[in-house]
Amino acid sequence: MMREQIAPTKSNLLKTKERLSIACEGYDLLEQKREILVADLMRKVELVKILEKDLDKRVETAYPTLKRMLVVVGRERANKLAQKVSYRHESMEKVIVSAGIKIPGLETQVPSIDIKYSPINSFAECDETVLEFFELLKICAELAVIRTIAWRLAREVKRTQRRVNALEKMVIPAASETKAYIESVLEERERDSFFAGKLLKKKGVSAREAANL
CATH code: domain of residue 116: 1.10.287.3240
User: What string of pLDDT tens digits covers the 213 residues of the chain?
Assistant: 577 888 889 999 999 999 999 999 999 999 999 999 999 999 999 999 999 999 999 999 999 999 998 888 888 888 887 777 777 777 777 777 776 777 777 677 776 766 555 555 567 788 888 888 888 988 988 898 888 888 888 999 999 999 999 999 999 999 999 999 998 998 888 887 777 777 767 766 554 554 454
5, part of any domain: no
- Please name the helix (run of DSSP H) or strand (run of DSSP E) that holds residue 49, with its range, or none: helix 10-73
Q: For the chain, how many residues are written?
A: 213
pLDDT tens string 81-114: 777 777 777 777 777 777 677 777 767 777 676 6
Backbone angles phi, psi at 6, to 5 degrees: -130, 160
Overall number of domains in the chain: 1
Rounded to two decimals, what is the model's pTM? 0.71
The span from the CA of 133 to the CA of 61, in Å, is 9
68, part of any domain: yes
Q: Which domain holds residue 31?
A: 10-187
